[in-house]
Structure 1
Amino acid sequence: MGVLVGTSGWQYKDWRGVLYPAGCPQRLWLEEYARGFTTVESNNAFYRLPEHDQFAVWRDRTPAGFVMALKASRYLTHIKRLRDPKEPVARLMSHADGLGDRLGPVLLQLPPTLRADPALLDTALACFPAGTRVAVEPRHDSWWTAEIRALLEDHGAALCWADVGSRPAAPLWRTAGWGYVRFHGGRAEPAPRYGRQALATWARRVHDTWPGEADVYAYFNNDTGGAAVHDAVVFARAVARLAREVGGTPDL
């Protein structure tokens, strides 16, 4: 697959005129999105886990080869805070099975107040079915230890490379044979856009860290005003200039 670039979510009204034609009804936005992008990170499961049938509908509405990453339920990450993960992980995966071959990685974004707890993370990661790609986005500085890095490596879980304000918000560890990158907002104008140099720097980091055959998923979470759409396209072009295989993006 190479480097797959998309956005975090697709249902944003201010993307009319940016990604969605003025006359395109909201019920067809996923189809329109998938005509340009080959991947999306779904936030739906974080706020309210869709039923198996809803995931199956999304599968049927997207083309072969499309990949949907899932942000795991906040019930697991923010309410339970990784405690007793067996049931919420099993429920998430049984529902997500409706995506079939469209299912991509699962993201565990941890609360910023959750301090490092290797045992909790180890237990949670062990609950995922074999072969599931899990990315972990810690947001407390206590997680940046050799023990946590080794734990992620043992599970084949990717440390999420997160950008905030055009700067890495975490150590740039490679903990798996695949990667996961999230862009939360840059420093360029109009906000929250990224500058071309910042995106070129991130493209070079990806290129220098993972070999050409590795899969890397990159999602832009700076949705306001369609910034995510524009920046995803610019980033994908920067990656392509490094002679890397890149998934499709819209022709803006």
Structure 2
Amino acid sequence: MRLLVLASGRGSHAVNLIEASRDGRLCADVARVVSDRRGAPVIERVRALRVATTVLMPDTAGSRLHPDAERQLLEILREERIELIALCGFMRLLSADLLDRIGAPILNVHPSLLPAFRGLHAQRQAIEAGVRVTGATVHFVDSGMDTGPILLQAPLEVLPGDTEESLSDRLLPVEQRLYVDAIGLIQRGAVRREGRAVLIERPDAPAGAAGPGPTAAGSGTTKGRDRG
């Protein structure tokens, strides 16, 4: 499976997916990493791993990509024959028109148990709300902010004295494991969507049978802080 990563920040998730594709955790090839920000740390980090990179132009401010940047992205997807797109701390919303034209599945990872604590600083939101449990979610991307159908979730206890930084640090490994698991399900053809419902084929199920997949793919420690 040929995978394209969209990233805006430091590149923690992008690097993890590249490493997973090389150490056997993920049967996919990260063909290219694309950023909307010149100078984003992710660019140099993945170049050091000998992965191709592109910065979309113009990298104007705003919540959505410039139309010229959208056209550039579509051309990259065609040239690279991309089969799956993974958002890794990508700080733009994708327009409904762009989503319709892309055609490939698009995933995002978010550091909360959606639909709770959407948007930025999800870890801070969880602490301020006083919840005892938060977690990570991998979901399909739509044109809203963290509103797409949920694929996998994993819980994490919020500890007394947790700060936004400490909670983020403990969530990151959970996000990373969950993302690899989710992409693996897509790669194996084990995921079926029916409207907003996401069904995961059970390995031991008879042909044609499906059921809801696990809501938790592990516990422990994923987009409130921009770590990409």
- TM-score w.r.t. structure 1 length? 0.35
Which has a greater percent of strand?
2
Which has a greater percent of helix?
1
RCO higher in structure (CA 8 A, sep ≥6)? 1
- TM-score w.r.t. structure 2 length? 0.38
